[in-house]
């Protein structure tokens, strides 16, 4: 595991009171006004002081670039930062470098992920409150750990929070190839639930179907096939008790038509921007179906530290420890090359993750000004430094 605390340089600076820094210089990716990320984002440097009370100082290791993060910067997401400029990003995995004097359950060297959304993760170092982060196993895969906070938690809550699903039950979802959709298929397979995925018709639909089925989907159909295929008899599926909608429009109406009696459809996004219609007589009256919405950000804020959240995190961490929680593929991009991620994102469905551990210079500032300490590859932090004559004294 990459670890700043394993380095001799860091141990020297952190254990010697005369050398311990009063601040650490961090690089942050900020935006001063709403707009397109590739135009508005810029890197700035600023100093972060020592943590106090229940604060922890975190070295950010990896931070995903999610569609939600982009929508926030564009100003079209329901959540907006109260003050600009703001640091972009929400999810991350990091390592604790220093703890405040009142911190009880975290220690230097612990690997952590955020419990709260929108803490501002596109930065190399940050301060957070103890209650805002969650300790994970020390040797967790960084890529998998970095995506638990929003997308994986959303998939978990969608499957656990609305219907008491049992092994053999079925669910149906549109946007099945999205990050949440893929995670839903993965969790369904682990829990013995049959999952029917719906994707938009496209030239490479066959390839995408196979990829989704390898991930855990029971069957994947296009939006043109779903209403013309006898999918339940062919695949021995029960009518779905749960429908998950992230698109809106006709695809939402389509999966609603497949709901079982007394089934529930949950809308957690609306990427098409289009409304959808529900027929009152068959759906609401005769079949007693229910339609509701879900916002993972709101759920986390309302359940911070609750038994529901603790149980969810413990279960997801166990899956992470046993390598059962494989997330969809992402491309890792060095933090300083962030524009590459947003340039590529405009024309592709790829997911990206910023790497804050590549070719970084760390500035430690204490009673004596320390020289730049280059970060070596992986855990080899620091190296030999020239000793000035004045320092020999």
Residues labelled catalytic: 77
Q: Which of 147, 154, 145, 150 is nearest to 173 (CA)?
A: 154
3-state secondary structure of 345: helix
Contacts of 308 (CB under 8 A, 6+ apart): none
Give the N- to C-terminal CA distance of the chain in Å, as an integer. 37
Contact in structure between 29 and 43 (CB atoms under 8 Å): yes
Rounded to a whole number, what is the largest CA-CA distance in the chain? Answer: 88
Indicate the angle between helix axes 153-160 and 307-321, nearest 10 degrees.
120
Neighbouring residues of 141: CB distance < 8 A, sequence distance ≥ 6: 320, 323
Which residues neighbour 233 within 8 Å (Cβ) at sequence distance 6 or greater?
A: none
Give the 3-state secondary structure of residue 352: strand
Q: Are 27 and 59 in contact (CB under 8 A)?
A: no
| CA atoms of 28 and 357, how far apart (whole Å) | 14
Best CA proximity match to 246, nearest among 294, 211, 188 = 294
DSSP string over 230-289: -HHHHHTPPPPSEEEESSBHHHHHHHHTTPPTT-EEEE---TT-B-----IIIIIIIS--
In whole angstroms, what is the distance from residue 269 CA to residue 247 CA?
6
Task: Give the closest residue to 69 by CA, choosing from 270, 342, 347.
Answer: 342
3-state secondary structure of 158: helix
């Amino acid at each position: 595991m990459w670890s700043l605390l394993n380095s001799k340089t860091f141990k020297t600076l952190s254990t010697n009171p005369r050398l311990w820094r009063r601040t650490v210089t961090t690089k942050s990716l900020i935006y001063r006004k709403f707009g397109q990320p590739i135009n508005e984002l810029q890197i700035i440097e600023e100093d972060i002081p020592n943590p106090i009370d229940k604060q922890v100082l975190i070295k950010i290791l990896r931070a995903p670039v999610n569609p939600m993060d982009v929508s926030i910067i564009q100003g079209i997401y329901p959540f907006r930062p109260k003050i600009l400029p703001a640091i972009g990003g929400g999810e991350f995995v990091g390592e604790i470098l220093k703890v405040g004097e009142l911190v009880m359950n975290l220690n230097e060297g612990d690997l952590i992920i955020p419990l709260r959304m929108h803490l501002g993760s596109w930065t190399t170092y940050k301060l957070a409150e103890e209650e805002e982060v969650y300790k994970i196993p020390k040797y967790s895969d960084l890529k998998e750990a970095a995506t638990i906070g929003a997308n994986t938690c959303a998939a978990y809550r969608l499957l656990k929070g609305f219907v008491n699903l049992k092994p053999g039950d079925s669910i149906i979802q549109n946007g099945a190839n999205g990050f949440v959709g893929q995670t839903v298929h993965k969790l369904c397979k682990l829990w013995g639930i049959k999952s029917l995925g719906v994707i938009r018709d496209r030239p490479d639909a066959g390839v995408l179907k196979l990829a989704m089925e390898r991930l855990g989907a029971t069957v994947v159909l296009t939006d043109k096939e779903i209403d013309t295929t006898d999918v339940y008899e062919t695949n021995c599926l029960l009518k779905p008790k749960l429908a998950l909608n992230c698109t809106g429009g006709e695809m939402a109406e389509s999966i609603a038509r497949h709901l079982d009696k007394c089934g529930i459809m949950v809308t957690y996004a609306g990427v098409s921007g289009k409304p959808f219609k529900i027929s009152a007589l068959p759906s609401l009256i005769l079949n007693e179906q229910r339609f509701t919405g879900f916002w993972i950000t709101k759920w986390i804020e309302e359940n911070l530290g609750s038994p529901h959240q603790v149980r969810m995190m413990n279960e997801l961490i166990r899956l992470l420890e046993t390598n059962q929680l494989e997330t969809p593929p992402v491309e890792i991009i060095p933090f300083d090359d962030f524009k590459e991620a947003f340039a590529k994102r405009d024309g592709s469905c790829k997911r990206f993750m910023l790497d804050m551990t590549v070719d970084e210079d760390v500035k430690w500032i204490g009673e004596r000004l320390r020289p730049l300490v280059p970060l070596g590859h992986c855990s080899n932090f620091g190296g030999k430094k020239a000793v000035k004559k004045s320092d020999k004294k």
